Chain A
Amino acid sequence: MADYIVMPKLGFDMREGVLNTWLKTVGDRVKRGEVVAEIESDKATLELESQVEGVLLKILQEPGAVVPIGANVAIVGAEGEEIAGMNGGAADESKAPAEPAAEQKEKQPAAPEAVAAPSGEAVSDEFPAGVRATPVARRMAEEHGIDLREVNGSGPDGRIRKADVEAYLASPPAPALAVAPAPAPGVVAFEPTPPPTEGVETIATSKLRQAIARRMTESKTTVPHFYVTTEVDMAPALALRKQINAALPDEQKVTVNDLIVKATALALRDFPNLNAAFAGEQIVRHKQINVGTAVAVEGGLLTVVQKNTDTSTLSKVAADNKAMIGRARDGRIKPDDVEGGSFTVSNLGAFDVDHFIAIINPPEAAILAVGSARQVPVVVDGELAVGTRMKTTISADHRVSDGAEAAQFLQAFKALLENPLRLLL
């Protein structure tokens, strides 16, 4: 019996995906788990694996189509099987008791190409409106016009409770968000630019570009950033790295960024406010320290997250980051690679920059911007000498932390890199 391939949910907050390319054509055999298409979420390009086995009988979504999760993208069945009664509209009827399904079948029995646009929001197949929330939280969200996906849940398994909605309402940026309707995915709340006339080239924004635009705008307009800069003597860390790498094969070599990520994680242990998120009446301190690394990819950037960075060995940090960065650059990122971050390191050291400042990656409370380690004149014991220095700037959320705390964090970070053996413990 013929069945549908549906748009999968491949990330916690994925609501829809763009069908980029079909790798199979009608008539091809597909196995369960075989990659049949490339899809794009707002975080990454992903592989669509067939959930069913058989012959690809019909493609329901053409390349470029934006498809809600759970919606049908193709029909697979036995060769030559009659599929006139099927259509490409609603997803599995048992999951989504979409009232039109039965009716449409009767009215348009032989019109499978009439792809009904799915009405309303795409929802998680797990919870109403895609979030785990208590009934009272849902009612309050409705009364106040809040999108529950914006609210952090403090209950079991992240369940959003009444207190979380209250905290959200009490947080300073909340009223603005509550009043303005939540922007549709990919729509940035800017005045639309005048339609292009001459002398310009317009490029459609990718999902990734739209996600960056939305999140960075949200961060820079709602999070009160402050910045603290320091300079680190990198000679000891670079010497240590040289020593370590001399003993390692190429594929296991440790990068400067690995040392920085590890030092960041160890320093964060004493500064839980910087490994946190602001949630109105509460500051949510993460028990795990998961340091993300911003990775430049085609058309934007992604943050790959090293879970439990502080307790992971340097060799694990190096191996994991190498693998994740590789996947990010190849467009084969896994949802798990980019989720769960609690702090981000953005390192432009490879691009010969003196220093820079970064925008916080919400809902995190801080981000560390790292410049190049370069040889500079330094004064040692009253004498001019050549030293190796790296400038780094932390951007922190002033609702969560203050300047002195950020400065103390930088001192700890600096001390770890200037006395780097502790990174190996």
Chain B
Amino acid sequence: MARITMRQAITDALREEMLRDENVFIMGQEVGVWGGTYAVTRGFYDEFGPKRVRDTPISEMAIGGAAAGAAMNGLRPVAEFMTINFAFLALDAIVNHAAKVRYMFGGQMKCPVVFRAPGGGGRQLGATHSHTPDVIFAHFPGLKVVAPATPYDAKGLLKAAIRSDDPVLFIEHHTLYQIRGEAPEGEDFTVPIGVSDVKREGSDVTIVAYSQGLQVALEAAEELAKEGIEAEVVDLRTLRPLDMDPVIASFRKTFKAVIVEEGYRSYGIGAEIAARLQEAAFDYMDAPIKRVAQFETPLPYSRELEQAALINPQRVIAAVKEVL
């Protein structure tokens, strides 16, 4: 199988689904003629035409609202926010409309929309364009939140998201577009939403991560292995619905956990995982559960300061050694 980039995996998923289902269409800023800010939809405008690859005005409220409305009327829109930071402007469409209509209309109406949103820190985009606000969206029932970390998962999960009858926020970490990995081709390939995945087996400590944090965790695990410490790395892949089973199974084996997330620690993914772990496996705890997260500051523009505020393998290694 060819080793493709995560960007290519996302492009392939979109293209396969558009070929499979004519109700699937793309909308967003610069997605058409320009081919997408991150070049994910390059060539789509020529292949599928202006009706199915629609450039929109610079209005996230309009993109979110129109996409939710189109989905309620039977289409399967894939709406792209240029970055997840701008999705704040569309919170009402995402949270109050897309995530609620099926419930509020007693199932008479569904909203099969996918919101794609690149995000995260590490590219010197300044404090307002570098958020990792995944947890804000994962807070609300009714919205599925997917955040893959490998080309395989990105492709399979995006296809599953497009086929889902519920609204899905699909978060693409913009530092991961270039990473390479295998991803199967063909209509049948999907990765189920809401299933966590053990990415590396180990017996000494459980590292829970997702998205870019997974790559940090895997690097840390390789370094730890050189010292004879075998970390098990669990990739959440989906933040809602959250699949704790592999996390709990791993913790019951290792008795120790470190949770890695790029977002802020307070009220974060790590807090949620830690709380669920102690509820489900209190009698298996052998050390405090540690969280590795972004420092609680607006992300600096300076490269050195930005890198210092973000997570890295050294911080994960230090946290692991604290619990061992």
A111-143 contact mask (Cβ, 8 Å, vs B): 1 or 0: 000000000000000000000001111110000
- B249 at interface by CB-CB < 8 Å: no
Q: Does A172 contact B (CB under 8 A)?
A: no
Say whether A155 faces chain B, with CB atoms less than 8 Å apart: yes
- What residue of chain B has the Cβ atom nearest to residue A142's Cβ? B283
Is B287 engaged at the interface, CB distance under 8 Å to the other chain? yes
Majority-rule SS of A interface residues: helix
Known interface pairs A136-B255, A162-B255; A155-B287 also in contact (CB < 8 Å): yes
Main secondary structure of the interface of B (DSSP, over half): loop
A370-382 vs B: 1/0 string, CB under 8 Å?
0000000000000
Find out whether the CB atom of B286 lies under 8 angstroms from the CB atom of A161. Answer: yes
Residues of the A chain whose Cβ atoms lie less than 8 Å from the Cβ of B255: 136, 162
Q: How large is the interface on B (under 10, 10 to 19, 20 to 34, 35 or more residues)?
A: under 10
Asked if B287 and A135 sit within 8 Å, CB to CB, the answer is no
Fill in one digit per residue for A150-162: 1 if any B CB lies within 8 Å of its CB, else 0.
0000010000011
Closest B residue, CB atoms, query A137: B286
Closest chain-A Cβ to B295's Cβ sits at a distance in Å of 24
Say if the beta carbon of B285 comes within 8 Å of chain A.
Answer: yes
Q: How far is the CB of B203 from chain A (nearest CB, A)?
A: 13
Q: Indicate if the CB atoms of B287 and A161 lie closer than 8 Å.
A: yes
Interface assignment of B284: CB less than 8 Å from any CB of chain A: yes
- A138 and B283 CA atoms in complex are apart in Å by 8
**Smallest CB-CB separation from A143: which chain B residue?**
B283
Name the A residues within 8 Å of B285 (CB-CB): 134-136
Q: Is B103 an interface residue (CB 8 A)?
A: no
Q: Contact string, B286-301, partner A, CB cutoff 8 A, digits 1/0?
A: 1100000000000000
Q: Is the CB of A134 within 8 A of B287?
A: yes
11 additional A-B residue pairs with CB within 8 Å, beyond A135-B283, A138-B283, A155-B287: A134-B285, A134-B287, A135-B284, A135-B285, A136-B285, A137-B286, A139-B283, A139-B284, A161-B286, A161-B287, A162-B255
Top 7 A-B residue pairs of the complex, sorted by shortest distance between their CB atoms: A139-B283, A135-B285, A162-B286, A136-B286, A134-B286, A136-B284, A135-B282
Contacts from B to A (Cβ < 8 Å): 255, 282-287
22 pairs of residues in contact across A and B, judged by CB atoms under 8 Å? A134-B285, A134-B286, A134-B287, A135-B282, A135-B283, A135-B284, A135-B285, A135-B286, A136-B255, A136-B283, A136-B284, A136-B285, A136-B286, A137-B286, A138-B283, A139-B283, A139-B284, A155-B287, A161-B286, A161-B287, A162-B255, A162-B286
